[in-house]
Amino acid sequence: MSVENAVIVDKLTKTFGDFTAVDHVSFTIPKGEIFGLLGPNGAGKTTTIRMLCGLLIPSDGDAKVLGYDVLIQPEEVKTKIGYMSQKFSLYNDLTSYENLDFYARIYGLTGNPRENRIDELIEMAGLRNHRSTITSNLSGAWRQRLALACAIVHNPPMLFLDEPTAGVDPISRREFWDLIYDLARQGVSVLATTHYMDEAEYCNNIGMMYQSKLIALADPDTLRGSIKDTLIEIDCDSQGKALQSLKEISGVLEAAMHGALLHVTIEKKAVKNKIKERLQSEGVAINRIEEILPSLEDVFVSMIKSKRQALVSAEFIEEREKI
């Protein structure tokens, strides 16, 4: 079955009683691309991915994975995809090799092809020295690699990763994404959910989810360019004191901690000098203050703020109309 897009999602919706977990979400994933579904816990990312994997029945809308309808052909979908869930589906009392062998047999691999595929995956995941290690004795990063290897043991053309790097150190996260890039170069299409904003940089396109809705859909550069105001970064002492002062300055739209730094959104560049003068008058020592490009976290926070303001305005208008 030849299809242009690996995934097509049209107004996909999932309700549980009166609760709407996914609300009319639409997007496509071209073959061989990495799509990131980004958002905080509870945004609806896992519910979306479970519907696309044929594990949950949609309440409304349509979705096709590799040309198969997830509503009427869920079993066909399951055989064609790889799925790595939040909780790695590994057997702790088996070795790395035994886990791979188990999954290979489930997918019908036999004889030399099975052994060759296991050897190939052990090499790919760097598990050669952990081939005979009991899985419960592996670190989180090695378990992550093993889970990925098990998910692709049958060479699926589509891979779903649900929070694959949660709880893993930054270096291991980067190494894991290197493996995903290699798969994409081989033509594998990937959908990955994450709440780590920096991981979205690895994706060709990003869907930002918030409170069950898709609030943005674009490539990383386009999303960063959507912020029209000026963003400055401040490295200073007494960050708490500085933050309070910044919020009192006219022309400052948003001020927030960003690690050990402050990110401040301002209306125009002229406000930058006003900020510097105010902080110095307050006795705050400034090490560095400069204009920067917004990060995807800045974009996400800005969009959420806009959504909240729009909701408050709508509620205000509704109450006024009742009077």
pLDDT of res. 313: 55
pLDDT per residue as tens digits for the range 145-161? 999 999 999 999 999 99
pLDDT of res. 1: 44
At 185, give phi and psi (nearest 5°).
-65, -25
Q: How far apart are CA 82 and CA 157, in angstroms?
A: 8
pLDDT class for 289, splitting at 50, 70, 90? very high
Task: Output the CA torsion sign for 201, 294, 8, 45.
Answer: positive
Tell me which architecture the domain covering 5-224 has in CATH.
3-Layer(aba) Sandwich (3.40)
Helix axes 140-151, 111-124, angle to 10 degrees: 140
Q: Residue 297 above 90 pLDDT?
A: no
pLDDT class for 62, splitting at 50, 70, 90? very high
Q: How far apart are CA 239 and CA 235, in angstroms?
A: 9
Q: Any idea what DSSP says for residue 285? A: P
Return the CATH fold of 230-293: Alpha-Beta Plaits (3.30.70)
pLDDT class for 300, splitting at 50, 70, 90? confident
Start-end of H helices in 37-169 = 45-52, 74-80, 96-106, 111-124, 140-151
pLDDT per residue as tens digits for the range 8-56? 999 999 999 999 999 999 999 999 999 999 988 899 999 999 999 999 9
Where do the domains of the chain lie? 5-224, 230-293
pLDDT per residue as tens digits for the range 78-134? 999 999 987 778 999 999 999 999 999 999 999 999 999 999 999 999 999 999 999
Q: Residue 256 above 50 pLDDT?
A: yes
